[in-house]
Structure 1
Amino acid sequence: MADKLIPTESLVQFYKRTGQDIPPELLHESGKAHFNVRETLTCTRKTPFNRRDYFKICLSSTTGKGSGILLYNDQEIQLNQSCLIFTNPAVPTSIEVTAPFNRFYCLFNMPFIEGHIPRDVQYACPLFNPAVQPVIPVTKEERERLGVYFTQMQVLQATDYPFKWDMIRNLLQLLIHEGIRLQQSRQAPASLVRDRLVNDFFALLNQQFPVDSPETPLKLLTPARFADLLHVHVNHLNSVVKKHTNKTTREIIHERVITEAKTLLRNTNWNIAEVAYALGFEYPSHFNKYFKQLTTQTPLEFRMGKKMVAA
């Protein structure tokens, strides 16, 4: 089943792909916390479309119209101005750059940040919640201010100060909070979710993804199953979710399943039946009907349409 796995780029593979020296701890100490920050000139290229086993935050300079595209799951997001980009490990991502631009980036793994980011903050940040938009446009003044965080992390990383990683974690948390604050400042107040039950529901939903193999199918597909695990009545869960998101619990589940279905159809060689089984459908015919009801296309029509566009 090795050919049925969604590719996930490791930190070691990232350093090999970008022609950098591999940090010794990644080769000799499994599960070791890792962090790195750099300022680079990004030239015209396209990165592989895959998931990653690390988190990444980028701060780009002004690019201009048509300078780049972020392929994020099944979205194509234009990178037409300075922005913060948060890469969620669970979401297949690729960036296609057509004009060089400067950028800062930092990358880190779960052991580096684990236990330092509260659940409510995770829900509001695209690093941890794939439902949140990953690109946040920033002004020139905002970019300069955010760039200070990256510069300070660079300076600290190069020192011998024994507590430098704690200071870097603090700066990283500031960067995460700044991203959330900037994003929410551009949203209507009604769209900001602060209810803990809703946050816990999304955490349960998102922890099922990515789907990596037909042999490990989705288990949570109904509001009642989520309500059982959250120890609330399903009607209460539905009411609270509807109040804070303006969508039903079932609608949110369907949206997430369809997003994953499109990702699998577009980026794997799995046949339709294997995609159906991976998403928790007992029969491929049920998946075909479900997919067409929500997208107006059959899974095969969607797959062939995407292949024609790519060609």
Structure 2
Amino acid sequence: MKTRKTWFITGASRGFGLEITKAVLATGDQVVATVRSKASELAAQFDNHPNLLVVTLDVTREEQAKEAAQAVIERFDKIDILLNNAGYGLLSAVEEATAHINITTPIRIKTAKEFAENLSIHPNHLNALLKKHTGQNVSTHIRNRLLEETKVLLVQTEWPLQDISYSVGFAEQPNFNLFFKKNTGLTPAEFRRNYRAS
């Protein structure tokens, strides 16, 4: 019988933090998921799962960290695994890179090697960790995140395609168009048109 572990995952409201929270709960382990606000919304998203405790935590505020730790002890007695996704942890590099995308701060991390270098670990080790905990490798996570951010920019902004291309890390728009079409079956322009027509 598997020993149940307690995971403490910061930055669990979206992106990698959210995906890892889903994956860990699916294994039967317990999760303390931290969010900066709206803890009840994340709990509701997981149907108030009995193995999930959602707490409000800004990792830069010491008093909130102490309150979160106390809540963990009261509910689960201990923390076995800490995944600092909100700060400089295993998956934070891509989250940070995509948090404030715009034309003046484009995404800089686009490859597994760049991601691993940012975390000061070997790319093979990073791939093994992500594969073990999420079932996907680094390149897949990065690709999916770039696609997610691109789709948001296409439907929520009026930015020209060239600006979106540059913002998500492509110096040349034709390369961006090929990347997007290869992964979605549509060019960025077609995706935007279809969304607006629906």
Q: TM-score, normalised by structure 2?
A: 0.63
Q: In 1, Cα distance between the equivalents of 2:14 and 2:139?
A: 24
Q: Which residue of 2 aligns with 1:48?
A: none
Residue deviations 1:160-204, cap 9 Å, x none? xxxxxx69x8389849x98xx9xxxxxxxxxxxx57599923111
Q: In 1, Cα distance between the equivalents of 2:14 and 2:167?
A: 24
- Corresponding position: 1:260 with 2:149: yes
Q: CA deviation at 1:128?
A: 8.5
Q: Which residue of 2 aligns with 1:170?
A: 67
- Corresponding position: 1:122 with 2:32: no
Residue deviations 1:206-227, cap 9 Å, x none? 1112344212110111111121
% identity of equivalent residues: 25
- Corresponding position: 1:137 with 2:47: yes
Corresponding pairs, count: 151
Q: Which residue of 1 aligns with 2:4?
A: none
C-alpha contact (below 8 Å) 1:277/1:283 kept by paired residues: yes
C-alpha contact (below 8 Å) 2:166/2:172 kept by paired residues: yes
- Classify 1:130/1:244 alpha carbon distance in 2 versus 1 (closer, same or farther; 3 Å): closer
Q: Which residue of 2 aligns with 1:223?
A: 112
Superposed CA RMSD in Å reads 3.6
Find the residue that maps to 2:99 and give its secondary structure.
coil
C-alpha contact (below 8 Å) 1:265/1:303 kept by paired residues: yes
Q: Which residue of 1 aligns with 2:92?
A: 203
- Classify 1:306/1:126 alpha carbon distance in 2 versus 1 (closer, same or farther; 3 Å): same
C-alpha contact (below 8 Å) 2:177/2:188 kept by paired residues: yes
- Classify 1:127/1:265 alpha carbon distance in 2 versus 1 (closer, same or farther; 3 Å): closer
- Corresponding position: 1:297 with 2:181: no
Q: CA deviation at 1:234?
A: 1.4
- Classify 1:234/1:262 alpha carbon distance in 2 versus 1 (closer, same or farther; 3 Å): same
Q: In 1, Cα distance between the equivalents of 2:18 and 2:176?
A: 22
C-alpha contact (below 8 Å) 1:224/1:234 kept by paired residues: yes
C-alpha contact (below 8 Å) 2:146/2:168 kept by paired residues: yes
Larger Cα-atom Rg? 1
- Classify 1:171/1:236 alpha carbon distance in 2 versus 1 (closer, same or farther; 3 Å): closer
C-alpha contact (below 8 Å) 1:122/1:128 kept by paired residues: no
Find the residue that maps to 1:276 and give its secondary structure.
helix
Higher strand share: 1
Q: In 1, Cα distance between the equivalents of 2:126 and 2:68?
A: 36
